Amino acid sequence: MTSMRAEILESAARLFAAHGFRGTSLQDIASDVGCSKASLLYHFTNKDAILSELFAPVGRDLETIQGKLAPLDGEQAAREAVAGLVELALRFRRQVKILLVDVDDLLCRPELPDVDSATESLVDALVGRAPGQECRVVGWMTLVGIFLTCARGVDVPDEIMRVELTRGALRALGRPTD
Amino acid sequence: MTSMRAEILESAARLFAAHGFRGTSLQDIASDVGCSKASLLYHFTNKDAILSELFAPVGRDLETIQGKLAPLDGEQAAREAVAGLVELALRFRRQVKILLVDVDDLLCRPELPDVDSATESLVDALVGRAPGQECRVVGWMTLVGIFLTCARGVDVPDEIMRVELTRGALRALGRPTD
DNA sequence: ACAGAGTCTGTCCGATCGGTCAGTTATGTT
DNA sequence: AACATAACTGACCGATCGGACAGACTCTGT
């Protein structure tokens, strides 16, 4: 028997994927797991905590990328960043393979793992940000969102995704896509 | 002075873009317009009607594509469909240029313009559909969603978008991307 | 048998949602 | 001035949301 926390995370991931974060209520998750809504809030402090835990590994990966990025600068740093973020997206797909969470929801959640302003502006440059959007940081979430949306329901091999994502990011940066 | 309906549609489009459909309340729209919530429901029968009206031109375009598609079959029809849907996405961007509505919300709205089952399965083949998703049809919405998400905040020229969308669709179809 | 920690649930709460409705104000028309 | 119609609003409603909390159940060590 798997642990309760694991079951909750599994159900939540599947439901978030199907209906989005706002579109999934605690009762929906509880029904899917087969327990009461209150039981969810015993294992997790609140609904956001469930989402945060699903994204925790991604946050740690991002910090790793950030660390490798620090000593670099300019063109070299940008290319490293692109490669790192693309690999992050691919790894993320394997880790939480059915998680296709509503991107717009994510863009407005302040409590998700944060990054410093340098990485923020870099990622913003990579993927852009719509004017008037209230998101604090999470430009990197947009990249993940692009990846997830592109992969929605279509099992594109990693190799193809890697090429496409890298090309798109480089183009957004205004750099040659050699 | 522009008409009240036009003002409502404009505000709704901007707010849907920033926070998604579920993330935008009628009160939010009313505050943005500068009128009461009840006034919105005087001009539109309900919240969904606002969204439907924003997408009405897309629905008409889809019918046109469908019409041109009918006399064709097989390989030729598939290629025509891809081209038509890509042009639809590009035209859609110009018509409702700030509308970046939450795709997952759209996937679950039954009252949006529908298409017949033939076009449905064709578009499903084009863009795929995540297992367990409750959407009735609107596979074509997923294509639009891919387009919108890819374009989020990045002003990619039409030409590049056309090439990328066409390539992606053809690849999803398992056809050579010549 | 007992105690206590860990686990789970029924029930309630305030907030917010989309939507309704009676009634008020504004705008013509005769 | 009197009236009709359109435009608009404040107040309210039922439903649903995330969350709080007291109590009940299960298990384990003594």
Where does residue B75 rank: exposed (0-12), middle (13-18), buried (19+ CB within 10 A)? exposed
pLDDT score recorded for residue B146: 41
pLDDT score recorded for residue A31: 95
CA torsion sign for B114, B118, B122, B128 is positive
Residue A30 lies in a domain: no
Distance CA A89, CA A96 (A): 11
Distance CA A115, CA B90 (A): 34
Contact yes or no for A154 and B127 at CB 8 A:
yes
Q: Which tops the pLDDT comparison, A113 or A77? A: A77
The verdict on ipTM greater than 0.90 is: no
Residue A92 lies in a domain: yes
Residue A38 lies in a domain: no
pLDDT score recorded for residue A35: 94
CA B36 to C1' C24, whole Å: 14
Nucleotides of D under 7 A from a protein CB: 7-11, 16-22
Average pLDDT, rounded, for chain B: 58
Residue B70 lies in a domain: yes
pLDDT higher than 90, residue B164: no
pLDDT higher than 60, residue A1: no
Residue A28 lies in a domain: no
Residue showing tokens 């993320």: A92
Q: What is the DSSP letter of A112?
A: S
Size of interface A-B (CB pairs under 8 A): 103
pLDDT higher than 50, residue A87: yes
A27: CB partners within 8 A, 6+ apart: A37
Contact yes or no for B146 and A145 at CB 8 A:
no
pLDDT higher than 50, residue B121: no
Q: What's the average model confidence in pLDDT over A73-95?
A: 55
CA A38 to C1' C13, whole Å: 14
pLDDT digits 0-9 by tens, B35-76: 999 999 999 999 988 887 876 765 566 566 556 555 555 556
Residue A132 is encoded by which pair of tokens? 């008037």
As for how many domains chain A has, the answer is: 1
Rounded percentage of chain A residues whose pLDDT exceeds 70: 28
Q: Which residues 41-100 of chain A have a CB under 7 Å from nucleic chain D?
A: 41, 45-48
pLDDT level of residue A13 (50, 70, 90 thresholds):
confident
Question: Contact at 8 Å (CB) between A51 and A141?
Answer: no
A100: how many CB neighbours lie within 10 A of its CB? 24
Q: Which tops the pLDDT comparison, B32 or B148? A: B32
Q: What's the average model confidence in pLDDT over A134-157?
A: 36
pLDDT level of residue B101 (50, 70, 90 thresholds):
very low
pLDDT score recorded for residue B69: 52
Q: Measuring CA to CA, how many Å separate A124 from each of A38, A82, A92, A128?
A: 39, 12, 19, 5
pLDDT higher than 70, residue B155: no
Phi-psi region of A131 (alpha: psi -120 to 50; beta: other; left: phi over 0): beta
Average pLDDT, rounded, for chain A: 58
Distance CA B7, CA A20 (A): 29
Residue B40 lies in a domain: no
Interface test with B, best of A107, A121, A148, A149 (most B CBs within 10 A): A149
pLDDT score recorded for residue A42: 95
pLDDT digits 0-9 by tens, A94-136: 443 333 333 334 433 444 444 444 344 444 433 334 333 332 2
| 3-state class (DSSP) for residue A9 | helix
pLDDT higher than 50, residue A174: no
Q: Which tops the pLDDT comparison, B166 or A150? A: B166
pLDDT higher than 80, residue B107: no
Contact yes or no for B150 and A131 at CB 8 A:
no
Residue B142 lies in a domain: yes
> Could you tell me the residue range of the domain that residue A164 belongs to?
47-172
Rounded percentage of chain B residues whose pLDDT exceeds 70: 28
Q: Measuring CA to CA, how many Å separate A134 from each of A108, A130, B18, B20, B100?
A: 7, 9, 7, 12, 14
Q: Which tops the pLDDT comparison, B32 or A24? A: B32
Residue B30 lies in a domain: no
Contact yes or no for A103 and B19 at CB 8 A:
no
Q: What is the dihedral of CA A120, A91, A155, B178, to 10 degrees?
A: 60
